[in-house]
Each structure stands twice: as C-alpha cells, then as structure tokens.
Amino acid sequence: MALILKSVVAACVALQLTAVGQDQKPPPRKFELKAESDDFWKLIDRGAKLEKFAGGFGFTEGPVWDSRGFLYVSDEIQNEIFRVFPGGRRETVFKTGDPDGSTYDRKHRLITTASVLRAIVEVKPDGSYQVLADKYEGKRLNSPNDVLLGPDGALYFTDPTLDLVKGEKQEIPFQGVYRLAADGSLRLLTKDLAQPNGLAFSPDGRLLYIDDSMNRDIHVYDFSSKGELSNGRLFGKEEGPPDSFVPDGMRVDRQGNVYVTGPLGIWIWDPKGKHLGTLVLPEMPANLIWGDADFSTLYITATTSVYRLKTKARGFVPYE
C-alpha cells in the first residue's frame, strides 16, 4: 500500500516516505528471527509465530494493554484512538488530529500525546478530553510524541518537532524531554537529544532510556528519587540498510532487556547494551506493549496492522 503524506501525518510515515518516495511501496519483508547472540533464544522461542491481531488501519501507534483483554491503538492517519478486541473488532474512543503515544497513569486514566493539540491530554470515558500540559514557560510545546508513567507516579514525555503541523511556529527552540507532576507542574529534564522519541524506565526505576530518531541511537540516564536525570550516555545505535526505519517506541522486560523498534523490526538489547537480535517484521513497526495475563506477549503496532508475538520473557508494565 502506498502511504500518503498528510499535513499531520505521523513522523514515522514521513521518514519512511522520504526514504522510498511517496508513490512507492516499502520493500516487502517476511517475519524472521535474527539472533546476534545465543541469549536471544532465552527470550524468544526458535519456533515463535507472529500473529496478526488486527488490520485495516492507516498508521498504528500508541498501544496500551488493558487487563480486561483489549488494546488501545492510535491511528495517526484516521485521527482516532480505538479500543481493539481479539478478532479485530474495534470501537472509537477518541477523535483528535494525529494521536501518538499513550499510557495509563497511576489512577488508570488513559493519557495520550495529541500532536495537533500540541498537548498531553487525559481521555475521558465519554470521549472528551482534558489538557494536562500544553506549554512550557509560557511557550507552546512542539508536538508531544511518547509518554509513560514513571516510578514516582509522574508522567514523562518527549516533545520533538516531528509532528508539528506545517505553518505552525516552533515556540520552544529545542526538542526536550519533560516530567509532568501530579500537581500539573512541568519540568524540563534534558534538551540534549536532537529528536527524542520513545522512552522507557528500567524495572527498578533507576534508569531512563530515550531514543533519538534523528541520530538513530539510544541513550540512557541515571534517574534519581527526585525525578532528575544525570550521567547521560550512549546505550546503543540502530543503524540499518536504506528504507529500514529508525528507533521509535521502546519497552523493557522484568530482567531489564530493552526492546526498541528500529531498522527492519524490533531490536532486543540486554541491560548492558549488547544487541541480542532482531525481530524482522512484515510491516514497519512504530511501537509495542506487553500484554495478556502473564505480560509475556508483545503487541506491536506496525503501519496498517497490530501484531502479537508470544515470548519467553515477562514484560514490565509500569501501570499494572
């Protein structure tokens, strides 16, 4: 399917179209397990099968697993967040321009990054929303991209310019990572990354991983009990062949292994930054979440579809 670049299209699609051209299809791929270390097989069964959970979307992002057995999925082309059930049935939850990353907060409220609104918002059960943050020091945010619940109960999010609508002014002269406290106060954590995108905390809450889509790498920071970052350093680089995408969404398992979307699929790293292997996917992935009762299944949002893959690992989900 040829992807169509809209004025508020997801940055992931924009990057891919830049690489392959708007009238060309990305090269076809088949699901494949590419191990770089024997430790890869401790996490993924050699006979693992990729299942299609749902399809027919424009561009999928922002998966959030609900223990009642469904998945929230953002569609950045159709401009909706859906509740998706096994078998592919879906219900519209929220309509907004270019929804992206989402999470539950500590009170189990659905929080999402609304790129067109340039805000972090809470989605109400009736489909309305409340803006939680849209300005930093009086200036409008760029286009919030990914958000997660931190170990201290605050929300953490990235704010690149990737989805800034054409013609709108960039008011903040950098692309930052922020902490949104329960009282609504907003604090800048770092502005050192060129294009911060996905982020994830280690299971013990002592590390924060952030990837940089422009530079195709992953950084890790020490995280303090005061909600502050220090000692930022390079964790790994995800460079691949042309048309193979860039780092985006990320998750960790309970052993501290890091799972990051990137060239060809999902890259799996051990806690020390060793690349264990790659899950090569048939469609370009943008994000992922752990789900099912044991949190051992990866649900992967990949272009027009949502896939799931049973693993040997047990995922770390901050809001559960």
Q: Which residue ranges make up each domain of the chain?
A: 11-310
d(CA 292, CA 271): 24
Q: Which residues of 280-309 are buried (b: 16+ CB within 10 A; e: fewer)?
A: bbbbbbbbbbbbeeebbbbbbbbbbbbbbb
**Of 3.40.109.10, 2.40.180.10, 2.40.100.10, 2.120.10.30, which CATH number belongs to 11-310?**
2.120.10.30
What pLDDT sits at residue 285?
A: 96
What pLDDT sits at residue 28?
A: 66
What pLDDT sits at residue 185?
A: 96
pLDDT in tens, 159-173: 999 998 888 999 999
Assess contact for 266 and 279: CB atoms under 8 A: yes
What pLDDT sits at residue 18?
A: 38
The closest alpha carbon to 133, from 150, 153, 149, 112, belongs to: 112
The closest alpha carbon to 128, from 94, 101, 105, 81, belongs to: 94
> How much of the chain, in percent, has pLDDT values that exceed 90?
85
pLDDT in tens, 240-257: 887 778 999 999 999 999
What pLDDT sits at residue 19?
A: 36
**For 315, which DSSP code?**
B
What pLDDT sits at residue 267?
A: 98
Kindly give the parts of the chain with pLDDT less than 50: 1-24
Sheet holding 258-262, edge to edge: 32-35, 275-280, 265-269, 258-262, 250-252
What pLDDT sits at residue 252?
A: 98
- Please classify residue 235 by burial: count the beta carbons closer than 10 Å to its beta carbon, then call 0-12 exposed, 13-18 middle and 19+ buried: buried
Average pLDDT, whole number, for the chain?
A: 91
The closest alpha carbon to 80, from 66, 53, 60, belongs to: 60
Assess contact for 31 and 254: CB atoms under 8 A: no
Global confidence as pTM: 0.91
What pLDDT sits at residue 184?
A: 95
The tokens for 77 are: 């082309």
d(CA 174, CA 191): 6
What pLDDT sits at residue 245?
A: 87
